[in-house]
Amino acid sequence: MTALDSRLTRRTALQGGATIALSLTLPGASALAAPPAFTEWREAFRARALAKGVSGATYDRVMGQIEPDMSVFRQMRNQPEFNEQLWQYINRRVSDWRLIAGQEAARQHAALLSRIERDFGVERGIMLGLWGVESTFGDPVVQKNHMRPVFPSLAALAWNEPRRRAYWETELINALRIVERGWSSPAEMNGSWAGAMGHTQWMPEVWLNVGIDYDGDGRVSPFGRPDDALGSSARYLVNRGKYRRNEHWGYEVRAAAAASGNRSYAAWTAAGVTRADGQPFPQGDATAQLWIPVPGGPAFLLGRNFYAVRSYNPSMNYTLAICHLGDRILGSSPFLQPFPGSERALTLAEVQEVQTRLTQAGFDTGGTDGRVGAQTMKAVQAFQRRAGLAPADGYAGLKVLARLRQGL
């Protein structure tokens, strides 16, 4: 891991939102010195940016009249909490809608995915899973409803988020350097409240230092055609995650008992661990670790490439969702051992029925397109509370659908 990686992985800024929300001291609180007025800070910050290679013309163009987006602090404090169980987390991300969209993306971009496999050795399933979880394959609805201009957000954080100000200042300068290089414009650079952008949700540091011009148009961009975003993200997995060519991320297995250690697949087979689907492990000399995330649920042998994907976001659940989504898009079955207490995922038609019935009952789902985002989860949670369903976890599943069909 590089020095940059050791300070912050690509997604720590987003992953840590809930933690920040718990520890954030509000602007102006007595525990910390009050920041200077924004205009004063903006003028003082100019010298910092120029010292890092940003021209005065670029700084004035981007920052000259900018106002801080103070809503980012509300976003940090008010991250929705739904306390999802792992099976719910997986079902929402490996949804019918994502599978359908992913299969179309795999067909439409088959040549690009083949090129990535050839150049970087990263399996197309991993790239499709990553793309699907991060932006639902560049879905314009996600961009429209959930993304905002990043410069006002980063400026607010660099100015007035005291506990990680140095990080946000660096990312603001990185974003300015992207404009300086002519790779993008302030109008194009929309992203999350924390500044992650495009098909695979790059932070400015990754865009600047890992991004490549994979489509040959003279600039590096995570927007528009997915070539740069996917090619660069594959490069990230290889360079920072140490992804290995010709190794699968891992397999669901049958294991008589939990065991620890990093062993070859041949050694695991000798110890009585077999693939859940009955097939042999294709590379007996590759190594893996046993992981049983929930007692009584599916068990997995995780190879080195699972942890390469995890370098993108240090969450085991997130990584499992990416790997499983990619496998499912390419035709694999759901996990053969169910999680305790789990339900099957709703079909696309069933999700749309949930959204339609909630809307008719006066709950705002943000649409009835079969995509379960935060708005639909909030609506489900409100319905659960009104109907006396416990836990009110916001999960749009079979129990909620059955109750909706009965009426309140």
Give the max Cα distance, the chain: 68
pLDDT at 80: 55
pLDDT at 81: 56
Give how many domains the chain has, as a whole number: 3
Q: CB atoms < 10 A from the CB of 169, how many?
A: 20
- Of 209, 237, 265, the residue that ends a domain is 237
pLDDT at 39: 95
Residue 64 shares a structural domain with residue 162: yes
Split the chain (408 residues) into runs of 10 and give each run's mean pLDDT: 35 38 35 70 97 98 95 77 86 96 98 98 98 93 83 96 93 98 96 95 96 97 97 98 97 89 95 96 95 96 98 96 98 97 96 97 94 92 95 95 91
pLDDT at 82: 64
Residue 164 shares a structural domain with residue 229: yes
pLDDT at 78: 63
Residue 33 shares a structural domain with residue 163: yes
Residues in the chain, overall count: 408
Residue 214 shares a structural domain with residue 278: no
Residue 156 shares a structural domain with residue 265: no
pLDDT at 35: 65
pLDDT at 77: 73
Cis link prior to 391 (omega < 30° from 0)? yes
Question: Domain of 222: which CATH number?
Answer: 1.10.8.350
Cα separation values, 218 from 41, 94, 116, 180, 335, Å:
34, 35, 19, 14, 43
Residue 207 shares a structural domain with residue 287: no
Residue 74 shares a structural domain with residue 156: yes
Residue 275 lies in a domain: yes
Residue 233 shares a structural domain with residue 360: no
Tokens 């990754």 correspond to 206
Residue 50 shares a structural domain with residue 151: yes
| Contacts of residue 53, Cβ cutoff 8 Å, sequence gap at least 6 | 177, 180
Residue 199 lies in a domain: yes
pLDDT at 259: 83
Residue 228 shares a structural domain with residue 257: no
Domain that holds residue 46: 3-78+147-237
Residue 156 shares a structural domain with residue 229: yes
pLDDT at 394: 94
